[in-house]
Amino acid sequence: MERTLILIKPDGVQRRLVGTIIQRFEQKGLRLAGLKMVQADRDLAARHYAVHQGKPFYESLLKFLESGPTVAMVWEGREAVAVARNLMGGTDGAKAPPGTIRGDFGLSVQNNLVHGSDSRENAEQEIALWFHENELVAYESSDNAWIG
């Protein structure tokens, strides 16, 4: 079973899209294993986006992630990392196809509503950054045999 970290970033919270975005992951068949609201500080923002350090948009990106509360979630299921990335659409909302979260609700590159881990390894690292292990819940979904 694969897990991925999904963030509804501050623009998604401010724009009252939390329920709508969660619904996309839920309806697809992924299983919610953890969920909380976090006000990221500079340290958390910098660690989360460490890979982008030195890029021209880095400082602005950290300010954005610090600018308000984020909803942090762990979703699990078959191919969860790739499935979640497909549900999100590409980075630039203007180019992301309709039907995806960014394609349906975003026009910006930076303010693109969601974060999703881009590999299984990064997912495990990011989950550890945002969650304590005891905040994640393991359980059987009763519809598992139907969803796979």
Q: For residues 118-147, which are near ligand DAT according to CB under 6 A?
A: 118
Provide φ and ψ at 31, rounded to 5°.
-115, 130
Closest separation between CB of residue 22 and ligand DAT, Å? 18
Active site residue 115: yes
Instruction: Kindly state the number of chain residues that form the binding site for Mg ion, as judged by CB under 5 A.
Output: 1
Burial per residue of 41-69, b for 16 or more beta-carbon CB atoms within 10 angstroms, e otherwise: eeebbbebbeeeeeeeeeeebbebbbbee
Position among 39, 53, 91, 144 found at the interface with ligand DAT (CB under 6 A): 91
Asked if 109 interacts with ligand DAT (CB under 6 A), we say yes
Residue 30 token pair: 């992924």
Q: Between 91 and 144, name the residue whose CB sits nearer to ligand DAT.
A: 91
Residue 78 token pair: 């078959």
Residue 26 token pair: 């839920």
Asked if 53 interacts with ligand DAT (CB under 6 A), we say no
Q: Which does 57 bind (CB under 5 to 8 A by kind): Mg ion, ligand DAT, none?
A: ligand DAT
Residue 17 token pair: 């899209």
Closest separation between CB of residue 52 and ligand DAT, Å? 6
* Distance of alpha carbon 56 from alpha carbon 75, whole angstroms: 31
Asked if 57 interacts with ligand DAT (CB under 6 A), we say yes
Which residues belong to the active site?
115
